Amino acid sequence: MTPDPKDGKKHPAIVWMTGGDSSSIGDVWSPSPADNDQSASAFRKAGIVMMFPSLRGGNNNPGEPEGFLGEVDDVLAAAAYLAKQPYVDPDRIYLGGHSTGGTLALLTAEISPRFRAVFAFGPVGEIGGYGGRFTSFNPADPREALLRSPARWLASVRSPVFVIEGAAGNIDSLLAMRSATSNPHIRFVPVKGANHFSVLAPANRVIAQKILHDSGAVTNITLSAPEMTP
């Protein structure tokens, strides 16, 4: 987590979920290439407080990975901890994630309106899209997959959510979810000229600046594909 800048101010903050094994965190502070910045460094460079939570079963934490189920509770617990920090504005906490982290971010938004806005990059709509990777449940039980598939719960979203993906990335999932819901809280943003990874840096630079200027009673953030094109 970003340390206290000791400036006496309360700063906006974002909980960021990395892809792959999103229960654990590795080196998220070293510089990343512009075409694959999974650390979302644009936020910390802009002065936004960043938190990378380690979830159940990750980094020697107690418990076992549940694969997109109990981990939702862990993300909400991370936000509760973040809100208690004296240098964080508890009303300006955002959630973002990429790939498996994007799937978890979307599932969290379907459970709780805790976050001021949520930015889910490249999530899957159906958990079976991972082909058995990153999951820790019985694939023979259809209810286990149902609970973990964000496409089934889009109607539950009650806060601003942006689902973002490069047109050359996991775009089929984005388009399928867009066709499956009319929930006005969700915006689906396919970005031309980008893939699953190259979309991150330019999009997060735009989002970071919008977070810095998002200080009203409710969020005023809007996003369009052209402004996030690499």
**Where does residue 3 rank: exposed (0-12), middle (13-18), buried (19+ CB within 10 A)?**
exposed
The predicted model gives 184-203 an average pLDDT of: 98
Asked whether residue 5 is domain-assigned, the answer is no
C-alpha–C-alpha distance, residues 73 and 230, integer Å: 34
Segments forming the whole domain that contains residue 221: 11-228
For residue 1, what are the CA distances in angstroms to 101, 123, 227? 17, 24, 28
Q: What is the pTM of this model?
A: 0.96
Range in 46-60, 96-110, 133-147, 170-184 with the lowest mean pLDDT: 133-147
Q: Is residue 77 part of a domain?
A: yes
Please give the pLDDT value at position 140: 76
> Does 210 map to a domain?
yes
Number of domains composing the chain: 1
If you average pLDDT over every residue of the chain, what do you get?
95
Beta bridge pairs of residue 230: none
Q: Does residue 61 fall inside a structural domain?
A: yes
Name the phi and psi angles at 158, rounded to 5: -125, 5
pLDDT in tens, 114-173: 999 999 999 999 998 888 888 888 877 899 999 999 999 999 999 999 999 999 999 999
Q: Any idea what the CATH number is for the domain that residue 101 is in?
A: 3.40.50.1820
Q: Could you tell me if residue 65 is inside a domain?
A: yes
Look at residue 4 and tell me if it is in a domain.
no
Cα distances from 82 to residues 11, 52, 53, 86, 99, in angstroms, run 11, 11, 10, 9, 23
Q: Is residue 50 part of a domain?
A: yes
Residues 6-52: pLDDT tens digits?
999 999 999 999 998 888 888 898 989 999 999 999 999 999 999 99
Residue 111 resides in a domain: yes
